[in-house]
Amino acid sequence: MSEENKNVADALNDIFEDDPAKKERDKEIAKYEKKRQKAIDKEQKKAAKKAANEAKEAEKKTADDEQENKEKSSWSWDKAVAESSADAKAETADKSEEASQKETSEEAAGAAKSESLDKTAEAVNTDSSEEVYNEDGELDEKALKKQLRKKKKEAKKKEKAEKEVNIVKDLIFLCIYIIIVIGICWAVLTFVGQRTEVSGESMSNTLHSGDTLWIDKLEYEFGSPKRFDVVVFPYGDDDETFFIKRIIGLPGETVYIDEDGVIYINDEPLEGDVYGREAIASDKRGVAAEEITLGDDEYFVLGDNRKNSEDSRSADIGKVKRSYIYGKAWFVASPKKDWGFVK
């Protein structure tokens, strides 16, 4: 800057320094700076006071923690000492009690053993003429053991004898059981059922020659034969030979077979007869070509194989009395292909 310009600047500064507005502005600035500095000082004092308080509280807390730790340490030590003393006392008491119990148990065991020996000796003396006490009145263990061995041998002999008796009893019971079973079977076969074998084809296709058949003899003890039942009855006076036929006519009915082979019951065609293999030929009607009136205890029977069956159409058989009917054909037991109830 030149000397001239410097002089101009100084002159201008002198002018502005004497300006009242500038002076007022500088005064306001100074006042603001003073307030700002005062606020800063106040905040600094407040922060310093807060820091001092926090330091004081921290110091106090540290002192309290040290005191508490000191007290805890002292209490733990006292407690440990007390517990150790109590445990020692308890252990001493337990040992003393255990020793006392052991001593008592040994005394009791000795007394029990002595009592047991005395009782054994008394039992032996009761059952034996030999004494187990010596002259001084003391128990002779050798004599006692000898007597006990003798007793054991006698007990074994007694046990063996009892087993033999039990075997005999079991055999007797088994024999009784077998007899009872045989009796039941006999009763069933005599009064309830009986096995027989089919011979001939008069009942095919219901029954076949060679079929093993079970007869129910009990059913007609409580009821009467029904239409279409397959019944068994003897051939005349021969109790070894039986006929097996199907009931067609019932007591009191009138039976007739016309020329076309149609069966009439009381002048009405028989209904439900699905068992005949084929119609009855005119020359196979037999005595049924004329009306047959059945008595109060008589039945009219036919074989299912109407073409090849000797039945009530034959004068040799005719009407079958109720008392002649032996039982009802119930079940085919063999062969396997024919298994089942008789329908």
The CA radius of gyration of the chain, in Å to the nearest whole number, is 66
Q: How far apart are CA 98 and CA 106, in angstroms?
A: 12
Q: How far apart are CA 95 and CA 92, in angstroms?
A: 5
Q: Would you name the residues annotated as active-site residues?
A: 202, 245
For the chain, how many residues are written? 343
Q: How far apart are CA 295 and CA 319, in angstroms?
A: 9
Contact yes or no for 255/263 (Cβ under 8 A): yes
**Exposure letters 116-129 (e unless 16+ CB within 10 A, then b):** eeeebbeebeeeee
Instruction: Tell me the angle at which helices 20-127 and 141-187 cross, rounded to the nearest 10 degrees.
Output: 90
